[in-house]
Amino acid sequence: MAQAMQFLSVLDFRITSQRTFQALLSLCELVDDEMRNSLIHFYATQYVSSYVISPSLLESEAHALVNKLRSSTINDFFLSLGAVRQIIQANGLESALKSNAFEYLYPGDTYISIIPMLYGNCSCAVSAVCSTPSALYNGLNFSVLFFVRGMRMGCYVLEALLQSSLECFYDPICFDSLKFYLSSTVFWNGTVMNGTTPSRFLTTSTVGDILDELMIEIWNWTLTFDKYFEQCRPIVCSYTVTTRNDGIHIVTTLIGLVGGLLTGLKLILPNLVIGVYYVLRRRKRRICEINVVANDLHEVSHDIGNVK
């Protein structure tokens, strides 16, 4: 097996697959770390409002905050990844797989020349994204044994991975063929992936397309207005209703007021008249009694004078 591996081309999938899937694993871990850090920062952010807002407005603002979280997380991730990709290409770093350049010593020369790799008409000296379909090769004559559908090989493992899709690993025929060729050099007990699982991504979607969405199937979030209201509920609630009354409403209101006033007077006036009557009658009786007493006293005093 080791002897067979020595004759494999550096472009052979059996050579590049290990680095390719290591790169894919690293991307998954980087996305996970970026998402965790963004959520920590998001949860530490307080929502402040001067007054309690309605459930519909709260849901609208929460939706805007989630969209902002999504866009900022994606931008931060690709800002870091883009910087790494630009540094690699700008400095012309040589791949450990010799997939972007190789050393060659011309006969009679005393120095080693660096020869850039060509993928079709694309030179790795000009572009870092040159690539070609990934395949398994015959170690003796370097003829193609099997193309790994969807996978690509290029100047750099990362750049080729972003252009690759995993469709072969969803297709039982392609997967079994790949497993057959791999069994001659490496032990691999893999199983075909389930292509019927609901997903917004296609089996033919490239890793780059999936990475554009941070490999996230769906952004789930829930909003509980009761918890928000419990934290922000006011001690006193007041409201003002501003209306424009028409003529009919004004007339109806006045009639209602007059009717209510008449009803009140009907209840109050009889009792008020009776009360006034009794007060006046009692006062008149008292005056009469005083006059009678005064006359009696006058007659008594007159009689006493006659007696003297």
Average pLDDT over residues 265-275: 74
User: H-helix or E-strand containing 29?
Assistant: helix 13-43
Q: Does any domain span residue 257?
A: no
Residue 259 lies in a domain: no
Q: Between 177 and 303, whose confidence is greater?
A: 177
Encode pLDDT of 125-164 as tens digits: 999 999 999 999 887 778 899 999 999 999 999 999 999 9
For residue 149, which of 139, 138, 134 has the smallest C-alpha distance? 134
- Residue 59 inside a domain? The answer is yes
Range with lowest mean pLDDT among 42-51, 83-92, 228-237, 239-248 = 239-248
In eight-state DSSP terms, residue 169 is G
**Is the residue at 77 inside a domain?**
yes
Is the residue at 150 inside a domain? yes
Interval 169-185: pLDDT, tens? 999 999 999 888 887 66
The residue segments making up the domain with residue 7 are: 2-98+130-232
DSSP letter assigned to residue 135? E
Dist CA 183 CA 16 (whole Å): 16
User: Tokens 């990844």 map to which residue?
Assistant: 81
Q: What is the pLDDT of residues 80-136, one digit of tens each?
A: 999 999 998 888 888 888 888 888 888 877 788 888 999 989 999 999 999 999 999
pLDDT of residue 233: 72
Classify residue 264: in a domain, yes or no. Answer: no
Has residue 73 been placed in a domain?
Answer: yes
In-domain check, residue 166: yes
How many domains does the chain divide into?
1
- pLDDT band at residue 291 under the 50/70/90 scheme: low
